[in-house]
Amino acid sequence: MLYDRNCLEGKRILITGGGTGIGKGLARHMAAHGAQVHIWGRRAQVLEEAAAEINREVGERVFWQAVDIRNYEAVDAAVGEIWDNYGPLTGLVNNAAANFIAPTKDLSPRGYEAIASTVMDGAFFTTQCAGRRWIEQGLKGSVVSTLVTWIWTGSPYVVPSAMAKAAVNAMTMSLAVEWARYGIRLNAVAPGPFPTDYAWQMLNPTADSSVGATQADQVPMGRFGEMSELGNLVLLLLSDGADYITGETITIDGGHHLAAPSTFAGLNSMSDEQWAQAKAAAKAASEKSKAQRSV
Ligand SMILES: CCC/C=C/C(=O)SCCNC(=O)CCNC(=O)[C@H](O)C(C)(C)COP(=O)([O-])OP(=O)([O-])OC[C@H]1O[C@@H](n2cnc3c(N)ncnc32)[C@H](O)[C@@H]1OP(=O)([O-])[O-]
Ligand SMILES: NC(=O)C1=CN([C@@H]2O[C@H](COP(=O)(O)OP(=O)(O)OC[C@H]3O[C@@H](n4cnc5c(N)ncnc54)[C@H](OP(=O)(O)O)[C@@H]3O)[C@@H](O)[C@H]2O)C=CC1
C-alpha cells in the first residue's frame, strides 16, 4: 500500500456508480484505507453484491442505496438519509455516467438526454445536495468528479458525453471559487482507458468498433491504467493531504491524449451496417442491465 491503511479514517465518502467498474474499484480502495463508503446506482442487486464483496475484505464499511441521480428529489432524500443515519459526508465522487458510441446524426433526443442528463444533471444534483448541507453546517468537504480527456480534445461519436463531461469540468472550476471560503474543494480526474465491463460493452461493442480510445497499444506507456493508480490519485484529492488543491482536473492516462488516439475518430471508417451491428450489441447489454434495475 502506498498510503497508510488508516489515512482515510473518519472520512465518509459517497461514490455514485459505485457498484461497478471504476466506482467499485474506488469504493474498495477508499474502504481499504479506513473510510466509510456509500455507493449508489440503479440496480439494488449489483450494489448489494459489490458492498458485500468489499465488506468481506475490509469489515462493515460499505453501504448502498438504489438512487437514480437524474431525479433531484431522490438524490436529496438519499443524501439526507446518509446524514441522518450515519453522519455528514466528508467527500463525494461524481462517478456515475452513461455513454454509448453512435453517429451523432442518428442520435434521438432521448438518446442524447439519457447520456447528458446522467453525466451533467446527476453530478450537479449530487454536488449541490452535499454542498448545501456542508455550507449550512459549517463543514468542509471534497468533491472529485470522474471526467475524461475529451473535455479538452472533444471526441466524435460520443458527443453528448464529451459535452456533458465538459460541463462538469466547468462546474468544478466555478464552484472551486464560489465554495472555497466554505472549505469545500472541487477537483476532477480525467482517466485514459481503464477497461471495465459495462463501458467496454457500450464503447467497444463489436470488433469493428475497436479504436484508439479503448486500446492499450496506442497509449504511450503501452498499457491500460490500473485501478490502484487511479485509486491513489482520488484518495489524495479526498484526503486532508490535498487541502490547497482545488479547481483542478488531473489527467491519468499514460500520455494517451497527448499522443492523440484517445478519441473515437477511428470510427470514421465504419459502414452503416457495422453501425447497426454495434448498436444492436450495445443495446443488448443495456437491456440486460435494465431488467435488473430496482429504481
Ligand atoms: C474511454 C472510456 C471513456 C468512458 C466513458 C464512459 O462514460 S463509460 C460509461 C458506460 N456506462 C454506462 O453507460 C452505464 C449506464 N448505461 C445505461 O444505463 C444505458 O446503457 C443507456 C446509456 C442506454 C441509458 O439507458 P436509459 O435506461 O437511461 O435509456 P434507454 O434504454 O431508455 O435509452 C434511451 C435512448 O437511447 C437510445 N440508445 C440506447 N442505446 C443506444 C445505442 N447503442 N445507439 C443508439 N441509441 C441508443 C435508445 O434507443 C433510446 O432512445 P429512443 O429509441 O427512445 O429514442
Ligand atoms: N473506464 C474507462 O476507461 C473510463 C471511464 N471514465 C469514467 O469513469 C466513470 C465510471 O465508468 P466505468 O466504471 O468504466 O463504467 P460503468 O458503466 O461500470 O459505471 C457507470 C456506473 O454509473 C451508474 N449509473 C448510470 N446511470 C446512473 C443513474 N442514472 N443513476 C445512478 N447511477 C447510474 C451505473 O450503475 P446502474 O446502471 O446500476 O445505474 C454504473 O455503476 C464514468 O464517469 C466514466 O465516464 C472516464 C474515462 C475512462
pLDDT at position 261 is: 66
Q: At what angle do helices 44-58 and 21-32 cross, to 10 degrees?
A: 30
Q: Which atom of ligand 1 is nearest to the CA of 109?
A: 55
Closest CA to 206 of 284, 131, 105: 284
- Nearest CA residue ID for atom 37, ligand 2: 42
Confidence of residue 206 (pLDDT cuts 50, 70, 90): confident
Confidence of residue 271 (pLDDT cuts 50, 70, 90): confident
> Does residue 36 carry a pLDDT above 80?
yes
> What is the phi-psi region of residue 211: left when phi exceeds 0, alpha when psi lies from -120 to 50, beta otherwise?
beta
Least confident piece of the model among 167-171, 179-183, 278-282 = 278-282
If you measure from the C-alpha of residue 20 to the centroid of ligand 2, how many angstroms do you get, rounded to a whole number? 7
DSSP letter string, 139-176: --EEEEEE--THHHH--TT-HHHHHHHHHHHHHHHHHH
Please provide the distance, in angstroms rounded to a whole number, between the alpha carbons at the two ends of the chain.
Answer: 37
| Spatial distance between the Cα atoms of 190 and 169, rounded to a whole number of angstroms | 10
Surface-to-core class of residue 42, CB atoms within 10 Å of its CB (0-12 exposed, 13-18 middle, 19+ buried)? buried
β-pairing, 184-191 vs 141-146, is parallel
Q: Which atom of ligand 1 is nearest to the CA of 98?
A: 13
Ligand in nearest proximity to the CA of 194: 2
- Nearest CA residue ID for atom 42, ligand 2: 97
Q: Do 116 and 128 touch, CB atoms closer than 8 A?
A: no
pLDDT at position 262 is: 66
Q: C-alpha cell of 222?
A: 503501452
- Nearest CA residue ID for atom 28, ligand 2: 68
Q: What angle is formed at CA 145 by the lines to CA 153 and CA 99, rounded to 5 degrees?
A: 60
Residue whose cell numbers read 463531461: 165
When the candidates are 3.40.50.970, 1.10.260.40, 3.30.70.20, 3.40.50.720, the CATH number that belongs to 12-290 is 3.40.50.720
Counting residues of the chain whose pLDDT is more than 90, the rounded percentage is 82
DSSP class of residue 17 equals: T
Q: What is the pTM of this model?
A: 0.94
Residues with CB under 6 A from ligand 2: 16-17, 19-23, 40-43, 46, 67-70, 95-98, 118, 122, 146, 148, 191, 193-194, 196, 198-199, 289
ipTM above 0.95, yes or no: yes
53-67: pLDDT as tens digits: 999 999 999 999 999
